């Protein structure tokens, strides 16, 4: 029922999917290919939302320390009665401590009848939350299976450029699972030792990967739009312009460290930003209309 353990399992499945060798393409109509592309992107978006949900669940503490303190209240009065002697001490300092303990004992005795309902309500909420977490983790596994099914269909009938763009989306989703912030889920002593800088760094890496994944989706859509007939006329011997695919490593590098040459007055140049969204990269040519 641990969200981080489930995230690690899904990440391992996605890593295995990345290692699957390319399939021999099956001829399909453009309409069938477009349906496969849209189904894949829909499942990819669902998986992205699921990763964000898992990161939230990983930060939730089902049994906080405050509840342990409340549960200990009924035991305070008997414990003090055992420690205190029957007669007060002759020393003023010790006598004041004894009187304070008797006051605490009387107060906890008055509070004790309300502790049971409080704990019962809290435990009922914990039970409902555990049930919700189990359901959500099951849904995440179902979404992963549907995503991999859609990916297999794209690999089977898709053209090279959309397939390569889909592989970039797969790689970034795998990286996103690996970058789920785990600061709150660590033991308390580690959270005390870790600085705020490390926590901010985890969030920055997660958000930058999410941004790169958004650019990968835009790149995938550009490749899908370019997936059309390679020749306009039967006598035409050349093909249309190719679509360039940027790798996952390139998209992450651009997100985490934008090039200085692309900055104009502290912002990214519009032409460079447009080329990033459209996925143009002259260093890696690829023919999207290859049969």
Please check whether residue 286 lies inside any domain of the structure.
no
Q: Decide if pLDDT at 187 tops 70.
A: no
190 part of a folded domain: yes
CA 140-144-146 angle, to 5 degrees, is 115
Least confidently predicted of 61-65, 86-90, 170-174, 281-285? 281-285
Q: Is residue 288 part of a domain?
A: no
98-100-101-105 Cα dihedral, nearest 10 degrees: 140
Q: Is 290 part of any domain?
A: no
For the segment 190-206, what is each residue's pLDDT rounded down to a tens digit?
Answer: 555 666 667 777 788 88
Integer CA distances (angstroms), 237 to 94, 145, 163, 240, 242, in order:
102, 42, 24, 10, 15
Maximum average pLDDT range among 112-126, 214-228, 257-271: 214-228
> Has residue 195 been placed in a domain?
yes
Q: What is the distance between the alpha carbons of residues 291 and 289, in angstroms, rounded to a whole number?
A: 6
> In sequence order, which residues have a C-beta less than 8 Å from that of residue 47 and are 6 or more positions away?
143, 144, 147, 173
Q: Say yes or no to pLDDT of 273 above 70.
A: no
Beta bridge partners of 268: 263
Q: Which domain holds residue 102?
A: 3-230+242-278
Per-residue pLDDT reduced to its tens digit, 36-93? 999 999 999 999 998 888 888 777 766 665 566 666 666 677 777 777 777 777 788 8
Q: 235 in a domain, yes or no? A: no
Beta strands in the chain (DSSP E): 263-264, 267-268
Q: pLDDT by residue (tens digit) across 219-228?
A: 999 988 888 7
Give the range among 95-99, 246-250, 282-286 with minimum mean pLDDT: 282-286
Percent of the chain with pLDDT over 90: 19
* 85 torsion bin: left (phi>0), alpha (psi -120 to 50), beta (else): beta
- For the ranges 9-23, 105-119, 138-152, 256-270, the maximum mean pLDDT occurs at 138-152
User: Hey, which of 57-61, 94-98, 105-109 has the most confident mean pLDDT?
Assistant: 94-98
* Confidence (pTM): 0.65
Interatomic CA distance for residues 182 and 173, integer angstroms? 17
Q: What does the mean pLDDT of the chain come to?
A: 75
- Give the DSSP H or E segment for 83: helix 76-83
Confidence of residue 278 (pLDDT cuts 50, 70, 90): very low
The answer for residues whose C-beta is within 8 angstroms of residue 83's C-beta and 6 or more apart is 101
* Element (DSSP H or E) covering residue 222: helix 196-225
Identify whether 252 is part of a domain. Answer: yes
Please report the pLDDT score of residue 30 as a whole number.
Answer: 84
Q: Which residues contact 14 (CB under 8 A, 6 or more apart)?
A: 144, 148, 170, 173, 174, 177
**Which is more confident, 22 or 139?**
139
Total structural domains within the chain: 1
Who has greater pLDDT, 96 or 258? 96
235 vs 187 pLDDT, higher one: 235
Domain membership of residue 237 (yes or no) is no
């Amino acid at each position: 029922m641990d969200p981080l353990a489930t995230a690690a399992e899904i990440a391992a499945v996605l890593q295995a999917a990345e290692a699957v060798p390319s399939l021999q393409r099956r001829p399909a109509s453009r309409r069938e290919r477009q349906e496969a592309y849209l189904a894949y992107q829909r499942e990819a978006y669902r998986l992205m939302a699921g990763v964000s949900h898992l990161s939230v669940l990983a930060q939730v503490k089902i049994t906080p320390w405050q509840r342990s303190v409340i549960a200990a209240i009924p035991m305070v009065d008997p414990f003090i009665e055992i420690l205190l002697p029957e007669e007060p001490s002759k020393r003023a300092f010790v006598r004041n401590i004894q009187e304070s303990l008797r006051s605490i004992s009387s107060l906890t005795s008055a509070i004790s009848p309300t502790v049971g309902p409080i704990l019962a309500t809290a435990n009922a909420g914990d039970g409902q939350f555990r049930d919700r977490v189990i359901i959500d983790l099951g849904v995440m596994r179902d979404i992963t299976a549907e995503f991999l099914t859609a990916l297999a269909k794209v690999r089977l009938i898709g053209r090279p450029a959309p397939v390569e763009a889909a592989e970039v989306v797969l790689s970034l989703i795998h990286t996103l699972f690996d970058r789920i912030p785990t600061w709150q889920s660590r033991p308390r002593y580690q959270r005390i030792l870790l600085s705020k800088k490390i926590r901010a760094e985890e969030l920055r890496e997660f958000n930058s990967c999410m941004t790169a994944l958004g650019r990968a989706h835009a790149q995938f859509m550009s490749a899908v739009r370019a997936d059309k007939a390679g020749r306009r006329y039967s006598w035409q011997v050349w093909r249309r312009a190719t679509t360039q695919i940027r790798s996952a490593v390139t998209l992450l590098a651009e997100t985490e460290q934008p090039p200085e040459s692309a900055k104009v007055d502290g912002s990214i140049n519009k032409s460079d930003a447009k080329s990033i969204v459209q996925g143009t990269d002259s260093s890696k040519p690829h023919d999207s209309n290859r049969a």
